[in-house]
Amino acid sequence: MYCLEITIKDILKASKSQLYSDEKLIKKAWEFAEKAHGDQKRLSGEPYISHPATVAYFLSEAGMDKETIAAGILHDTLEDTEITYNDLKENFGDDVARLVKGVTKIGDLKYDKKIQQARSLRNLFIAAAQDIRVIVIKLFDRLHNLETLNYHDSEKQKRKALESLKIYAPIAYRLGMNHLKTQIEDLAFSNLQPEKYKKVFEFQQKRLKEIEQSIDSTLKSIQKELKHNKIKFRTEIRKKGVYSLFKEIKLNRYKGLKSIHDLTPIRVIVQDISSCYQSMGVIHSKFRPLPTMIKDFISFPKPNGRQALYTSVFTGEGEIIEIQIMTEEMNRYANMGIVSDIETRKNNSIFSNFSSYIFGSSDNKNVEYQRKFMKVPAWFKDMANKQKDMKNTDEFLGNLNKDYFNYRILVFTPKGDIVNLPSDSCPIDFAYYVHTDIGNHLKIAEIDGEKVSLNTKLKNGNIVKIATSPDATPSYEWLNYVKTILAKKQIKYFLDKENRKNL
């Protein structure tokens, strides 16, 4: 994809910063890394610098700050050259040196060896809790390694591809870096299961041809209506990733490809939140929506922080198309996730505040920063929080294993929303995931239309329906059933409160 040689000029050009001081640091890093790697070569035969150069280019394109770009250029110097931490510190300052050290320390996230995987993932959380940019560098490092995977022997290829699918892509997803997640997934999938990849890809192309006309006329009509209503907007046509389509086909098998409405969603990007709702109204007055598919993720953001209005409409040509309405800021977040905040920040101190935010510092001076980091996904804060008590390493590893390593399952709400839970979760986990109040008043659970006991283990693809009652409350017994940290915490919290009341 990016086999063309990346030069320092490309990196600087991609960077949105116009500051001379930024350029100086990046150039210095370039010269330093080039010298340090000397005549080391990649397996492809290219000079080694081509790898960190590409990683830095990705970072630059993603709008990262100068320290991250510099660290991207230097990211393999600690591991692969004579350069020491102190060398980096002297030449580039604390920030860059720490970033490189963080990336080096994480090392490889091995998927096949559970313990080592736990350790390296734990390192990743520690490093990232101090500075989220470490993960971002690591993810782009992996992206480039995937792009150049064919130079490795096939066993190593498979291992790297599997790790990418099982560890890196979910991390990117949970950080909201959706664009990167899709790239990682599709590269890994095409390597792991080339035939399946090809089949799904061709499937997708064929279907795209079928709905091309419909998409086109719908788009034009939407544009006309919005203009007519004096709404300022721009539109994009999105394309679903091949792997993500593959997963959906597997889940959706019996309903067919036609039931997948978000194959090429139309994205409408407007100036502010009220224009989002207004646009939705305009679109619905022209196209009839599917009642169950109208979603307000602006008032109720997705767990990974994404916000938008979603609707699926009948095009009048026998097709149903998904439309996503959002502001520029939401669009950036939808593509870049946590990184979208990094770009807009003006001050580096935001990163030192990140850990104090996570660790719940009582310092309230940085309310603005804290507000921004509200977007840090709950699971991430939760994991980072556990680092507070370092004596509890075993428990931490246990939790990490339970929640983030073991296969996760996807189940559905009656409306078709996907809920992602650790395997062996039960309806109580599900209820708490949906909302604390639903968990606290859970009375009856149904799986696929059948009433079940609350400790029933959920399976992939189950549709779970919860009935609540004001007088239903959690019991101690529930603690034995639940698998998620979230449910456990909420149940304990509720029971503690009750106990205090009864004193």
Residues that are catalytic: 79-80
The window from 75-83, 260-268, 274-282, 470-478 that contacts Mn ion (CB under 5 A) reads 75-83
With b for 16 or more beta-carbon neighbours within 10 A and e for fewer, the 175-213 pattern comes to bbbbbbbbbbbbbbbbbbeeeebeebbebbeebeeebee
Q: What x-and-dash track marks residues 267-306 binding Mn ion by CB under 5 A?
A: ----------------------------------------
Q: Which is nearer to Mn ion, 50 or 204 (CB)?
A: 50
Q: Which is nearer to Mn ion, 138 or 375 (CB)?
A: 138
Q: Which is nearer to Mn ion, 76 or 403 (CB)?
A: 76
Q: Interface with Mn ion includes 141 (CB under 5 A)? A: yes
The window from 72-80, 248-256, 400-408, 489-497 that contacts Mn ion (CB under 5 A) reads 72-80
Helix ranges, 62-175 (H): 66-74, 77-80, 85-106, 114-130, 133-147, 154-163, 169-174
Residue at shortest CB range from Mn ion:
141
CA distance 409 to 462: 9
Q: Is 42:50 a contact under the CB 8 Å cutoff?
A: yes
Q: Is 105:47 a contact under the CB 8 Å cutoff?
A: no
Q: Is 408 helix (H, G, I), strand (E, B) or coil?
A: strand
**Which residues in 304-363 contact Mn ion (CB under 5 A)?**
none
Q: What x-and-dash track marks residues 405-434 binding Mn ion by CB under 5 A?
A: ------------------------------
CA distance 409 to 458: 8
- Closest distance of CB 103 from Mn ion, Å: 8
Which residue in this structure is represented by tokens 């198309």?
Answer: 321
Q: Which is nearer to Mn ion, 70 or 226 (CB)?
A: 70
Pairing of strands 450-452, 295-296: unpaired
Q: Which is nearer to Mn ion, 58 or 430 (CB)?
A: 58
Please give the size of the binding site for Mn ion, defined by CB under 5 A: 2
Q: Which helix (H) or strand (E) holds 398?
A: helix 393-400
Q: Which is nearer to Mn ion, 107 or 301 (CB)?
A: 107
The window from 71-79, 281-289, 452-460, 485-493 that contacts Mn ion (CB under 5 A) reads 71-79
Pairing of strands 442-447, 418-422: unpaired
With b for 16 or more beta-carbon neighbours within 10 A and e for fewer, the 253-263 pattern comes to eeeeeeebbbb
The window from 137-145, 319-327, 399-407, 412-420 that contacts Mn ion (CB under 5 A) reads 137-145
Q: Which is nearer to Mn ion, 160 or 483 (CB)?
A: 160
Nearest to 265 by CA among 328, 335, 197, 312: 312
Q: Is 215:266 a contact under the CB 8 Å cutoff?
A: yes
- Closest distance of CB 136 from Mn ion, Å: 13
Q: Which residues bind Mn ion (CB under 5 A)?
A: 76, 141
